[in-house]
């Protein structure tokens, strides 16, 4: 089971290319800071603008730098089932521990189409698949009935829930297998999601505050609710700042202020507004991440 704080990794760029040295240094820093798991090539990693070759390479770089110290859950989703299968098979061959597969965006499949999409991927790999349900980006919303059907397949082992609906983990925990990982996809609801039956969070804020994000999950697991809530309260301004504009703009700017990488992104993503920069800098300064 995947539990705790998983970081939805940013992908550093330099002059338009993947900055491999900065990326591997960043992954190593994440592990040393105590993050519980690594998620390369998600939306925060700007996967929509990575070529297939770059997608493969970034996954390989993450696995290499992680060196087996924590699990790697590689982003391999696509709105083309064949493409998702190709990315998933590559990630498995490269040594990933799991796959994060987003619901197909733009083409709006039915529930039966969603089932067929995930089953096709399930049938081509031998490692755990985490369903990524994010209606705000993909428009479609996977039903609990469809998840229950998918959970019967051997490799469908969890859910990243970015709906923001805290009634869902309660129902999911009741209806899905006990070993089905329930992971929040929203930092601001990480602790409420755990309280409602979840097991962890795939986090944007963990890019810049990995130790605190991991500590709050460890505190919750140890039964120290007061400490977990205190950390969550300290992190709230950072969570808000990381989504003052579309991710990964704010978190890349924050990472640049911390000297972790530069803030370069690929179009159609552009530098965040000056007002957003002020909010981001204030939030991370308030948490002591910069002087």
In the residue annotation, 132 being an active-site residue is answered as yes
The chain-wide mean pLDDT, for the chain, equals: 97
pLDDT tens digits for range 252-266: 999 999 999 999 999
**So what's the pLDDT on residue 137?**
92
CA distance 119 to 170: 25
Average pLDDT score over residue span 43-51:
97
User: Distance between CA 176 and CA 187 in Å, rounded?
Assistant: 23
79 band by pLDDT with thresholds 50, 70 and 90: very high
Q: Is 160 an active-site residue?
A: yes
Q: Which residues pair with 39 in a beta bridge?
A: 8
Q: What average pLDDT does range 112-134 have in this prediction? A: 98
Tell me what pLDDT residue 86 has. 98
The first and second tokens of residue 161, run together, are 């829930």
The CATH class that applies to domain 4-222 reads alpha beta
Angle between helices 144-151 and 168-175 in degrees, nearest 10: 30
Out of 115, 118, 132, 253, pick the active-site residue.
Answer: 132
Characterize the bridge pairing of strands 200-203 and 181-184. Answer: parallel
Tens of pLDDT, residues 181-226: 999 999 999 999 999 999 999 999 999 999 999 999 999 999 999 9
Strands (E), the chain: 4-8, 13-14, 17-18, 37-39, 73-75, 98-102, 129-133, 156-161, 181-184, 200-203
pLDDT interval class at 177 (50, 70, 90)? very high
Instruction: Please tell me which residue in 157, 160, 252, 277 is annotated as part of the active site.
Output: 160
Kindly state the average pLDDT of the residues 110-121: 98
**Residues of the chain with pLDDT > 70: what percent?**
100
Closest by Cα among 106, 104, 119, 101 to 202: 101
């Amino acid at each position: 089971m995947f539990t705790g704080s998983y970081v939805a990794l940013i992908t550093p760029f330099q002059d338009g290319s993947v900055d491999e040295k900065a990326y591997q240094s960043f992954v190593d820093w994440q592990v040393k800071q105590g993050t519980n798991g690594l998620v390369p090539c998600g939306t925060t990693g700007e996967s929509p603008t990575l070529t297939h070759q770059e997608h493969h390479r970034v996954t390989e770089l993450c696995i290499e730098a992680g060196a087996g110290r924590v699990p790697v859950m590689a982003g391999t989703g696509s709105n083309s089932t064949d493409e998702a299968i190709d990315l998933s098979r590559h990630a498995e061959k490269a040594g990933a521990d799991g796959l994060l597969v987003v619901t197909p965006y733009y083409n709006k499949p039915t529930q039966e189409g969603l089932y067929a999409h995930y089953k096709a991927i399930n049938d081509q790999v031998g490692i755990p698949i985490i369903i990524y349900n994010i209606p705000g980006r993909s428009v479609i919303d996977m039903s609990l009935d469809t998840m229950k059907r998918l959970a019967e397949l051997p490799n469908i082992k969890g859910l990243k829930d970015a709906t923001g609906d805290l009634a869902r983990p309660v129902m999911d925990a009741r209806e899905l297998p006990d070993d089905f990982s329930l992971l929040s996809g929203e930092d601001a609801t990480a602790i409420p999601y755990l309280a409602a039956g979840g097991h962890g969070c795939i986090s944007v804020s963990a890019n810049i505050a990995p130790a605190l994000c991991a500590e709050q999950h460890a505190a919750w697991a140890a039964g120290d609710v007061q400490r977990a809530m205190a950390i969550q309260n300290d992190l709230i301004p950072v969570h808000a700042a990381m989504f003052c504009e579309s991710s990964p703009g704010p978190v890349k700017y924050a990472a640049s202020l911390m000297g972790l990488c530069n803030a370069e992104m690929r179009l159609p993503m552009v530098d965040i507004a000056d007002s957003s920069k002020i909010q981001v800098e204030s939030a991370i300064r308030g948490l002591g991440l910069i002087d």
